[in-house]
């Protein structure tokens, strides 16, 4: 269990790193006249992602979930791949990446990197991580609850992003965070 706790702590540290990058990028965006949309769902997103980390540890500890190598190792590989995809998205969007929906006037839509193939690649990373992290140590209830709640939240989030980007493109060739802004 100790190594799993360290893994969850590493993912939490990565999340803190994302928030630092997002705050820096938010200042960069604000200096360029950015607008922020979708503030209503943001607290639910923060709570859900915090709950994922807490749920992983609580379920493994309270329910005595074992490490099952045939499941755990492939899920660890999936988790690492999800982190790679997430940071590829962050690197591709550069200072336009954010955890909030932010639109910067005058910037074209990003269509390189993973955005060449997927409309919302960061959300693929989020979904994979939400499934893989708990299943590394057979926390199947946490994986199931996160997956269902995340699907509902992403429905709201993606609609918000698509509306915001469509409205921006209708008024001018203006786009913001690329195609997604993630946690």
Between 11-15, 106-110, 123-127, the lowest mean confidence (pLDDT) is in 106-110
Q: What is the pLDDT of residue 140?
A: 98
Q: For residue range 124-163, list pLDDT tens digits in order.
A: 999 999 999 999 999 999 999 999 999 999 999 999 998 8
Q: What is the DSSP letter of 111?
A: -
Say if strands 101-103 and 35-37 run parallel, antiparallel, or are unpaired: antiparallel
Residue keyed to tokens 């999936």 = 78
Q: What is the pLDDT of residue 109?
A: 82
Global confidence as pTM: 0.88
Contact indicator for 175, 168 with CB cutoff of 8 Å: yes
* 3-class secondary structure, 36: strand
Maximum Cα interatomic distance, the chain, rounded to a whole number of Å: 56
Question: What domains does the chain contain, in order, with CATH numbers?
Answer: 2-171 (1.20.120.1630)
């Amino acid at each position: 269990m100790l190594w799993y706790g360290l893994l969850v702590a590493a993912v939490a540290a990565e999340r803190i790193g994302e928030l630092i990058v997002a705050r820096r990028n938010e200042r960069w965006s604000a200096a360029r006249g950015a607008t922020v949309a979708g503030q209503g769902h943001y607290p639910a997103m923060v709570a859900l992602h915090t709950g994922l980390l807490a749920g992983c540890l609580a379920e493994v500890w309270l329910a005595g979930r074992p490490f099952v190598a045939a499941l755990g190792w492939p899920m660890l590989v999936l988790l690492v791949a999800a982190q790679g995809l997430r940071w590829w998205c962050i690197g591709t969007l550069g200072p336009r990446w954010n955890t909030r929906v932010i639109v910067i006037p005058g910037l074209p839509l990003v269509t390189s990197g993973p955005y060449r193939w997927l409309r919302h690649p960061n959300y693929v990373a989020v979904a994979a991580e939400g499934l893989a992290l708990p299943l590394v140590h057979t926390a199947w209830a946490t994986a199931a609850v996160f997956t269902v709640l995340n699907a509902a939240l992403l429905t709201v989030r993606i609609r918000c992003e698509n509306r915001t980007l469509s409205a921006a493109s209708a008024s001018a060739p203006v786009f913001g965070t690329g195609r997604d802004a993630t946690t």
